Structure 1
Amino acid sequence: MERGNQSGVSEFILLGLSDQPEQQRLLFFLFLLMYLITGLGNLLIILAIRTSSCLHTPMYFFLSNLSLGDICFTSTTIPKMLANHVSGNKTIPYAGCLTQVFFFIFFGVIDCIILTAMAYDRYVAICTPLHYSMIITPKVCGLLIVASWFWASVNALINTILLTHLSFCGHSEIPHFFCDLSPLLKLACSDTFINNLMVNTIGALTIIISFIGILISYAQIFVTVLRIPSTAGKWKAFSTCGSHLTVVSLFYGTIIGVYFSPTSTHTVQQDTAAAVMYTVVTPMLNPFIYSLRNKDIKGALRMILTRKPSLYL
């Protein structure tokens, strides 16, 4: 961080999504609403899983961790954006920007790994149901979560430390609503070869390999489901995977489009729109996607919302 301060940049300016006052007010209330829905929806999912004994299974254990990750993921970017709008100040300190980059990568990587773990859980449950309890044990679930936190820390730490070695030569305007790695690298006036190399190697190890793991899991699931003789059995198997596939498509599709496609093929506006999808929209939709098609979660949520408070509390 010291070297960044020596380059003459003590803070960055987040240009946001619009420079029109009317649009800024509309975006403020829209993002505030989406943030509140994201927080409330994911908290309800976590509460439903914790309080309902029938949801104490590996699949819902991963889902509760995904919901927690989504809350933290959105909290990394949206509150600062809303605070800047209220204060009328678009700046973010140099150290604050690097901190935002760290936690954005950290919670983004955790989401990637948890989505992969959920796909593997569905693969074992559908393709080898007799061995499910022996393979997906509480110890294995715990180790997968710990591994996701460890790898996320390594990934975020490496990329953040490499950022501190860049010079910005007084260029401080970020055409984004948060400190993202991609626009920061474009803003630097020093050599970013090592930074881009790390993004395309460590990032690929995380995102691409996780995505391939999900594709392989669902390819095996698809083959297994096709062998089920009854139509009702096929529909039941596919319905348990449909929600997860929807989330995976939204999350990975936009991330791969932003970070792993040629920069010449998309504009700043397209990058920002894609970032809004995976940082705000997808975490907001996750509770609805997983609960609307899941009878167990809907039942647990109904019990929570209709439960009368105890007179002894």
Structure 2
Amino acid sequence: MNQDFIEKDNISIASYFYISGFSGIPHMRYYIFLFFVYIITVLGNSCLMFVIVTDRNLHTPKYIAVFNLSLTDICESTAVIPQLLDTFLFGNQWILYGLCLYNMFSVYLFLTIKSLILTILSFDRLVAICLPLRYHMIVTHRSMLVIIGASWILALLLTITGAIFLSRLSFCKVIVTVNSFYCDHGPIYRSACNNNFPNSVIANLFPAIIIGFPVFFIIFSYTCISVTLFRITTPQDRQRATKACTAHLILVAIFYVAITFTYAFWSFINTNTRIINLSLTSALPPMLNPIIYTFMTEEFMVSAKRLLKRRFIFPSRK
């Protein structure tokens, strides 16, 4: 493909980027399974959101956060999987400059929001177990909506800032190759030939905000929760409190372990290993989240069964 430069404000903007991705990895056609992952993700999270909206018993601050997590999972999968399939199964590895910026913005926006919502859910568990008598005073519908709204605003500000600084880069090469499965910020800014120091700062600062602080807060929260659990004398109460945290802990482990390892040791990891790890980390957790919440959260299971019986098995007769 021929590629020209667009001159704008003395900045050379490449018309296209080439998404190289999985170079040298055989059997990439098996990535078609991500199409079914995407379908399950959309259906599973849509059902989760439907149950939360329909059942009044789930109209609580905690499930406001869970609803937003499901919405973010759908948006994240929509930003990642269709582009990934189009790129590597249908060979459309060229992407327009504007679409590349939009793709990067979308992926990082929903990644950031998801990380912040998981942090909010850990705060919810922290207050519920460590300060049970004050829970309904601290965690209200209004406070939860304010926190989630602030998270969306913070995520928008961070991703818009990253996109603006990336748009100020100038590219000297005729073909700019992006060694990733999407328009990844790191490979793009390192391909620029003008001053990329601001983008370098962003590349190091933003992961600390998006991943580092949430991981630190979640560890702190569950340290406090563990101390509180040891002080609970009744085995039944301890088991109930532990079960209430299990689903969230699994979601946290699935999301953070792989992505933290990748970003912490990216310079020591093979490019293909990094790409495969990030692609699966972006695609699989959104599918698993509704499954985990459905089968490991008792109150949600009760609501789902009640709704199923009322709407489909024993519908009211008019």
Q: Give TM-score scaled by structure 2 length.
A: 0.89
1:14 equivalent in structure 2:
19
1:182 equivalent in structure 2:
186
Match of 1:156 among 159, 167, 192: 159
1:132 equivalent in structure 2:
135
More off after superposition, 66-75 vs 86-95 = 86-95
Work out the CA distance in 1 between the residues paired with 2:9 and 2:64. Answer: 41
Q: How does 1:264-283 map to 2 (within 5 A)?
A: 264-283=267-286
Q: CA deviation at 1:109?
A: 1.1
SS at match of 2:312: coil
Residues 292/5 of structure 1: CA separation in 2 closer, same or farther (3 Å cut): farther
1:244 equivalent in structure 2:
248
Work out the CA distance in 2 between the residues paired with 1:143 and 1:311. Answer: 38
Counterpart contact for 1:3–1:165, Cα < 8 Å: no
Tell me, yes or no, if structure 1 residue 144 matches structure 2 residue 147.
Answer: yes
SS at match of 1:92: strand
2:205 equivalent in structure 1:
201
1:232 equivalent in structure 2:
236
Work out the CA distance in 1 between the residues paired with 2:269 and 2:223. Answer: 30
Residue type of the alignment partner of 1:199: A
Counterpart contact for 1:250–1:277, Cα < 8 Å: no
1:52 equivalent in structure 2:
55
* CA deviation string 1:178-198 (max 9, x = no partner): 112222233334443211212
Q: Which runs of 5+ in 2 are unaligned?
A: 1-5
Q: Which runs of 5+ in 1 are unaligned?
A: none
* CA deviation string 1:117-147 (max 9, x = no partner): 1101111111111111110011101111110
Residue type of the alignment partner of 2:47: L
More off after superposition, 169-178 vs 95-104 = 169-178
SS at match of 1:308: helix
What percentage of residue pairs aligned between the two structures are identical?
33
Work out the CA distance in 2 between the residues paired with 1:8 and 1:97. Answer: 12
1:288 equivalent in structure 2:
291
Counterpart contact for 2:18–2:175, Cα < 8 Å: no
Residue type of the alignment partner of 2:76: F
Counterpart contact for 2:31–2:89, Cα < 8 Å: no
Q: CA deviation at 1:8?
A: 5.6
* CA deviation string 1:31-52 (max 9, x = no partner): 1011111111111111111111
Counterpart contact for 1:123–1:217, Cα < 8 Å: yes
Work out the CA distance in 1 between the residues paired with 2:193 and 2:81. Answer: 28
Once superposed, what is the RMSD of the aligned Cα atoms?
2.5
Q: How does 1:40-79 map to 2 (within 5 A)?
A: 40-79=43-82
Tell me, yes or no, if structure 1 residue 25 matches structure 2 residue 35.
Answer: no
State the number of aligned residues: 310
Q: CA deviation at 1:85?
A: 5.2
SS at match of 1:7: strand
Work out the CA distance in 2 between the residues paired with 1:4 and 1:277. Answer: 39
More off after superposition, 296-305 vs 234-243 = 296-305
Counterpart contact for 1:3–1:164, Cα < 8 Å: no
